[in-house]
């Protein structure tokens, strides 16, 4: 069967629809169209809440760094935690920007890309979590100092600090390699799929798969 024949089938179907398809005006009029205008996207609310939380945290960290500027270990730990907070904040702002750009009247591939990028947001937090592994102690130091007023560093053995820095600096290169692998472009690698699925769930996984499909479709 050739393309012309498919079109003939569809043309015949069109003629049939012209004769038999009609608008159910009563049902149409009963749709509450105005109500839809008042709807807000719940996902947008979540992301705005994230922005508020991370902004407050960033302000807190700024204040924490300023007040502990003379104690280098606390200031450095604060800067590290602050950087992570700012990355998370930037991620959430990026999400709101994407959500605001979603307009269904725009070309399909562009809109699908944006929607799926929103759906893969969870992966950013997973990456941040892994990225913070070598410097996890900074979170503990800042947490214990600000919540319980306990300076853990002052009670640490100098040897422990040295060993900690050495071991964890060795982790940085494999970690960067590992995080670079965690993208939709590497979904064909079994362990990448398994890791993403394990840490982000099937919704993110499906979105990443679709991003892959979109890229193939575009090329």
Query: Binding segment for another protein among 62-70, 122-130, 166-174, 207-215 (CB under 8 A)?
Result: 207-215
Give the x/- contact pattern for another protein in 103-132, rule: CB under 8 A. Answer: xxxxxxxxxx--x-----------------
Among 30, 70, 149, 155, binds another protein (CB under 8 A): 30
Looking at beta carbons only, is 21 or 173 nearer to another protein? 21
Give the binding-site size for another protein (rule: CB under 8 A): 51
Helix runs in 68-120, H state only? 72-101, 108-119
Which positions ≥6 away from 40 have C-beta within 8 Å?
A: none
CA-CA distance, 93 to 54, in Å (whole number)? 10
Residue 46 binding another protein, by CB under 8 A: no
Residues 81 and 138 sit within 8 Å (Cβ to Cβ): yes
CA-CA distance, 53 to 85, in Å (whole number)? 10
CA-CA distance, 105 to 68, in Å (whole number)? 51
Query: Binding segment for another protein among 9-17, 49-57, 71-79, 146-154 (CB under 8 A)?
Result: 9-17
Looking at beta carbons only, is 22 or 149 nearer to another protein? 22
Residues 88 and 125 sit within 8 Å (Cβ to Cβ): yes
CA-CA distance, 164 to 145, in Å (whole number)? 19
Residues 142 and 78 sit within 8 Å (Cβ to Cβ): yes
Looking at beta carbons only, is 194 or 203 nearer to another protein? 203
Looking at beta carbons only, is 12 or 189 nearer to another protein? 12
Interface residues with another protein (CB under 8 A) are 1-3, 6-7, 9-10, 12-14, 17-25, 27-33, 35-37, 39, 41-43, 103-112, 115, 206, 210, 213-214, 217-219
């Amino acid at each position: 069967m050739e393309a012309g024949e498919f079109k003939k089938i569809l043309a015949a179907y069109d003629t049939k629809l012209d004769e038999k398809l009609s608008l159910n005006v009563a049902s149409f009029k009963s749709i509450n169209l105005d109500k839809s205008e008042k709807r807000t996207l719940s996902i947008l609310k979540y992301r705005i809440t994230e922005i508020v939380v991370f902004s407050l945290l960033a302000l807190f960290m700024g204040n924490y760094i300023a007040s502990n500027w003379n104690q280098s270990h606390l200031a450095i730990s604060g800067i590290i935690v602050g950087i992570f907070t700012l990355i998370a904040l930037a991620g959430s702002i990026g999400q709101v920007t994407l959500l605001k750009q979603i307009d269904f009247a725009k070309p399909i591939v562009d809109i699908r890309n944006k929607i799926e990028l929103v759906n893969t947001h969870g992966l950013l937090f997973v990456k941040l979590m892994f990225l913070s592994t070598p410097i996890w102690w900074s979170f503990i130091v800042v947490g214990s100092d600000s919540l319980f007023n306990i300076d853990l560093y002052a009670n640490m053995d100098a040897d422990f600090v040295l060993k900690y820095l050495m071991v964890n600096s060795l982790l940085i290169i494999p970690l960067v390699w590992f995080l670079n692998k965690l993208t939709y472009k590497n979904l064909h690698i079994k362990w990448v799929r398994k890791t993403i699925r394990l840490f982000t769930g099937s919704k993110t996984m499906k979105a990443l798969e679709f991003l892959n499909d979109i890229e193939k479709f575009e090329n």
